[in-house]
Amino acid sequence: MKYIDEYRDKEKILSLAAQIKKTSTKKIRLMEVCGGHTMAIQRFGIPDLLPETVELVSGPGCPVCVTSRSYIDKAIAYSKLPNVIITTYGDLIRVPGSTSSLDKEKARGANIRIVYSVLDALKIAQDNPDKKVIFLGIGFETTAPGSAAGIMKAQMAGLFNFSVFSAHKIMPPPMAALIDEGVNIQGYIGPGHVSTITGSHIFDFIPQKYGLGVVVSGFEPLDLMQSIYMLGKQFETNKPSVEIQYSRAVKPEGNAKAKEIMDEVFCLRDDWWRGLGILENSGLGINDNYADFDAEKIFDVAVEPLKEDKGCICGIILKGIAKPTECKLFGKACTPSEPVGACMVSNEGACAAYYKYNRE
């Protein structure tokens, strides 16, 4: 198949739905760990096509959602420094910190600019040599190579007024942590975009150690339905493995050049995940060879005391224990225009997806 409409063929999708219903005799709970999948599943009404034996739950696949409020608080503190320009992707600007947000600080006069890539941030640094430009690097293995390439480019160009504040994370540790905590899942719909970089081999430990299957999926309805069918077949036959449904974009070995760039600049470090706490070697810090471009090593700021909203259940939603509609704030005190939690802000957040497509 070559075109998007082929992956939205109604007859093929309904045929797969019938096969899933016919072959899924045991109850199975599958978790997607990609925010793009979360949005696509709700957008295309995938749960309504599945039998009662198959349940889908959302996991920690939204990088904005799993990032701590303390990161936002520190970014806000950076924005208050003299001669500093904060550059950020748009979905981060409205995430609540303890008492403010980047959006609110921008309205108060802070020099905060939305960019579409790290290259935009580098151009801003080049055009403003008298300013310090901080790029808020956020995302999983998908966006980490871009941030790393930006740092390498800055070093080569001598742009020492550019730095990155890294919140980059990697996916295998939270996937393992969920199973270790006993969260009820029988398989993973593997992240498609992450896997284009890492390859599928990074998930091999899941069937080997935990006996759960992983199918790396694309983002169209036919992709998702086929992935669910493949996971169901693994579960029914008790043959868990790592499979690639998204073969048009993902290879077992991944993108060697992107991984090389990422490994050149970043090093593993312990990091905090919303709902899961601190996970060993789950974050990407900037290594000492590139310390001149690490905002955390360059700028010393006082950060306000962390204040979480007690009513928000984003943490347990990200663990697949609760669904957005079970939150008392959902659609009331917490909406996309007035978000309380990060899961309602990001375009990849489960709460935002449910609010847009599945509020009933």
Give the pLDDT score at 308: 84
Classified by CATH at the fold level, domain 64-170+255-298 comes out as Rossmann fold (3.40.50)
Torsion of CA 283, 309, 39, 247, to 10 degrees: 10
User: Residue ranges per domain, the chain?
Assistant: 64-170+255-298
State which amino acid sits at residue 337. Answer: S
Give the pLDDT score at 23: 92
* Per-residue model confidence as pLDDT tens for the chain (360 residues): 567 888 999 999 999 999 999 999 999 999 999 999 999 999 999 999 999 999 999 999 999 999 999 999 999 999 999 999 999 999 899 999 999 999 999 999 999 999 999 999 999 999 999 999 999 999 999 999 999 999 999 999 999 999 999 999 999 999 999 999 999 999 999 999 999 999 999 999 999 999 999 999 999 999 999 999 999 999 999 999 999 999 999 999 999 999 999 999 999 999 999 999 999 999 999 999 999 999 999 999 999 998 988 899 999 999 999 999 999 999 999 999 889 999 999 889 999 999 999 876
User: Rounded to an integer, what distance in angstroms lies between the CA atom of residue 19 and that of residue 136?
Assistant: 45
